[in-house]
């Protein structure tokens, strides 16, 4: 006997599968650095939208912490749309963000008294959608909380950037705890590039890809973000499997 209509259960299942496939498609969109040596280590050839990414300084000092924040700012600068930056300490140096490509007129700063409020603000902003990126400065990132942030990012396709900043050395150990972040990066300041004449050379960083889902860890020696948020490998590439002196710039 021919069926008079589609089975409602099958129809509902098909709609759910279609919705899930749409979410997967969004998550496959990436933001490449434009540097082959870095992008080759990232699934999809870049940082995933609709995902959470972590950044921290190589030590407990403010200098490495500031470099990590500028690295994240350069990434946010290369996204499209407004950027939400959630924090508890209003100590960001706006000209430095602009030098990393992230101009203040694109940024909405959300200041909170407690980290719990920063987390809540980030989750709300990620769930809102339509933003280039959402950045939050945090000391701790518990696994349960990171999963909520990851799910919120997946829902809207917005990129979430968590900058881990510490006031005390003892807090830095929390960075070793597992989270749901798709990638985890550590940034350390290196001596500036030498110039042919006396002067201040471009800042250099050691950028360590500490964790990446479905990828391999690596280390890169890079020139700091320029006014478009780009980095370059003009100072060399550090990897046990590949060494190169070519100069390339990210897009």
Q: How does pLDDT run across 24-73, given as a tens digit for each residue?
A: 444 459 999 999 999 999 999 999 999 999 999 987 678 898 999 999 99
Name the token pair of 72.
């994240």
pLDDT exceeds cutoff 80 at 241: no
Digit-coded pLDDT (tens) for 186-206: 999 998 877 666 666 788 999
**Could you tell me which of 182, 250, 188 has the C-alpha nearest to residue 61?**
188
* pLDDT at residue 143, rounded to an integer: 94
* pLDDT at residue 94, rounded to an integer: 81
| Angle, alpha carbons 226-229-61 (nearest 5°) | 80
Check: CB of residue 32 under 8 Å from CB of residue 250: yes
The rounded percent of the chain whose pLDDT value lies above 70 is 75
- Residue 5 pLDDT level (bands cut at 50, 70, 90): low
pTM: 0.80
Check: CB of residue 47 under 8 Å from CB of residue 183: yes
Digit-coded pLDDT (tens) for 119-163: 999 999 999 999 999 999 998 899 999 999 999 999 999 999 999
Name the token pair of 98.
């602009």
**Could you tell me which of 206, 173, 161, 146 has the C-alpha nearest to residue 55?**
161
């Amino acid at each position: 006997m021919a069926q008079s209509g589609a089975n409602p259960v099958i129809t509902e299942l098909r709609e759910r599968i279609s919705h899930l496939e749409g979410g997967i498609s969004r998550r496959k969109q990436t933001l490449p650095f434009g540097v082959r040596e870095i992008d080759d280590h990232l699934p999809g050839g870049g940082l995933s939208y609709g995902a959470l990414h972590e950044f921290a300084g190589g030590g407990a000092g403010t200098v490495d912490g500031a470099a990590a924040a500028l690295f994240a700012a350069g990434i946010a600068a290369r996204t499209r749309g407004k950027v939400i930056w959630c924090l508890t300490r209003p100590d960001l140096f706006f000209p430095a963000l602009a030098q990393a490509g992230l101009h203040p007129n694109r940024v909405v700063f959300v200041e909170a008294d407690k980290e719990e409020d920063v987390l809540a603000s980030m989750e709300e902003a990620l769930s809102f959608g339509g933003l280039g990126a959402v950045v939050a400065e945090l000391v701790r990132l518990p696994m349960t909380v990171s999963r909520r942030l990851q799910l919120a990012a997946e829902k809207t396709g917005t990129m979430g950037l968590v900058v881990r900043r510490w006031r005390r050395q003892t807090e830095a150990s929390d960075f070793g705890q597992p989270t749901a972040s798709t990638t985890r990066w550590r940034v350390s300041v290196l001596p500036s590039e030498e110039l042919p004449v006396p002067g201040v050379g471009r800042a250099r960083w050691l950028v360590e890809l500490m964790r990446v889902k479905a990828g391999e860890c690596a280390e890169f020696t890079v020139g700091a973000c320029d006014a478009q948020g780009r980095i370059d490998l003009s100072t060399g590439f550090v990897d046990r499997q590949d060494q190169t002196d070519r100069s390339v710039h990210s897009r």
